[in-house]
């Protein structure tokens, strides 16, 4: 797995071995970032269920001002920190070892881009979407990744599902505020 473009372009990222973490496939990551490529420069990013940190690192490489990485696994946190050091992006990052739900319950900040990529088929996506939505800035985008057959609600609080794309067994949903003009994205 490599960083696609930006300041860390081509850098190889380490991943956790085993089945506990499921990295976003390269073609899914490329499609995801082509959809939001103009929304990253100078923005604040939240990477929930960060795993290897590849989504937040890709965002930082493309000019995001800050990325907060949240994962409950100590091993994942070690990998994220190693990947941030390797890509020389550590100074723009905060890495937290905690459960996503606990983080969302306590965090006062809002973010311009939120990646929500929980384990598939455990109900985390529907459960955490409203909590994550509460931390999205007014003109931000929440990118939810789930199994193709996982439910993605059409609306979550003030957000609506504006686009859903499927790639094999994976689905990506893009949520935006109801008042955001999606024609400019």
pLDDT digits (tens, 9 = 90+) for 105-140: 999 999 999 999 998 888 888 899 999 999 999 999
Q: Can you give the pLDDT at residue 184?
A: 46
CATH architecture of 26-178: 3-Layer(aba) Sandwich (3.40)
| CA 175 to chain CA mean position, Å | 12
Residue 124: partners with Cβ closer than 8 Å, 6 or more residues away: 49, 100, 118
Per residue in 20-74, pLDDT (tens digit) is 556 777 888 898 999 999 999 999 999 999 999 999 999 999 999 999 999 999 9
Q: What count of other Cβ atoms lies within 10 Å of the Cβ of residue 25?
A: 14
Output the CA torsion 73→33→136→102 (10° steps): -10
Which pair of tokens denotes residue 66? Answer: 């800050």
Residues 6 or more apart whose CB falls under 8 angstroms from that of 78 comprise: none
Name the residue ranges covered by the structural domains of the chain.
26-178
pTM: 0.93
Q: At 88, is the pLDDT very low, low, confident or very high (cuts 50, 70, 90)?
A: very high
Evaluate if residue 16 carries a pLDDT over 90: no
Which pLDDT tens digit goes with each residue over 136-177? 999 999 999 998 888 789 999 899 999 999 988 899 999 999
CB 62 within 8 A of CB 5: yes
C-beta separation of 46 from 68 below 8 A: yes
Residue with tokens 């930006």: 6
Q: Does residue 120 sit in helix, strand or coil?
A: coil
pLDDT surpassing 70 at residue 95: yes
């Amino acid at each position: 797995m490599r960083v696609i473009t930006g300041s860390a372009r081509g850098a190889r990222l380490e991943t956790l071995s085993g089945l506990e973490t499921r990295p976003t496939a390269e073609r899914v990551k490329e499609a995801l970032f082509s959809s939001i490529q103009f929304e990253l420069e100078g923005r604040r990013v939240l990477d929930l269920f960060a795993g290897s940190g590849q989504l937040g690192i890709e965002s930082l490489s493309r000019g995001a001002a800050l990325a907060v990485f949240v994962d409950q696994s100590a091993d994942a946190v070690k990998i994220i920190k190693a990947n941030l050091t390797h890509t020389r992006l550590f100074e723009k990052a905060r890495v937290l070892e905690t459960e996503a739900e606990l983080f969302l319950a306590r965090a006062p900040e809002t973010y311009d881009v939120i990646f929500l990529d929980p384990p598939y088929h455990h109900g985390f996506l529907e459960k955490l979407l409203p909590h994550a939505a509460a931390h999205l800035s007014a003109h931000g985008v929440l990118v939810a990744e789930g199994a193709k057959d996982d439910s993605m609600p059409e609306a979550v609080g003030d957000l609506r599902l504006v686009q859903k794309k499927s790639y094999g067994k994976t689905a990506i949903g893009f949520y935006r505020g109801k008042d955001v003009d999606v024609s400019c994205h």
